[in-house]
Amino acid sequence: MTTKSSRQRERASSRKKLMIDDIAFNIGEPTPIPLERLYTWVVWQFPRLRSVTLGGNSTFGDADGVEGDVFTGHSGAVHPGDGEHGWYPALIDAAAGTVLIFANVAEPSPSPEAASKYFD
């Protein structure tokens, strides 16, 4: 039996975008979203700074000593307000007002703690 969210993911994979709450997420890489756009979402932030090298090859590391095209923020997770989706890993840069959402994971996680383990 196919669930609603897996049907949405199958349709989205053919278009290379995943639509959640009228936001188009990239399937092949993390998607930067303005924090203000997530006003109906739950944003869960952990006190650990992480960084990711952008440009199609996501590599994770500690925030210190990272150079190049890098997004740095606190590790965390986001959950759409509709309740039909699980938690997606995210890096949250509150000062810049941007969240890098990893909707490109195979499946959303059941909890914010589980989603943030994506970075370990």
Q: For each of the chain's 120 residues, which pLDDT tens digit applies?
A: 445 555 455 444 445 789 999 999 988 889 999 999 999 999 999 989 998 887 655 555 544 444 458 899 999 999 998 878 899 999 999 999 999 999 999 999 999 999 999 988
Q: CA 62, CA 48: separation in Å to the nearest integer?
A: 9
CA angle 6, 115, 58 (to 5 degrees): 90
- Its pTM stands at 0.77
pLDDT in the model for residue 117: 92
pLDDT in the model for residue 15: 54
DSSP secondary structure string for all residues of 46-114: EEEEEEEE-SS---EEESTT--SSEEEEEEEEEE-TTSSS-BEEEEEETTTTEEEE-TTSSS-BSSHHH
- Domain ranges (residues) in the chain: 30-119
CA-to-CA separations, 103 to 11, 20, 67, 114, in angstroms, rounded: 15, 10, 25, 14
40 is written with which tokens? 């109906």
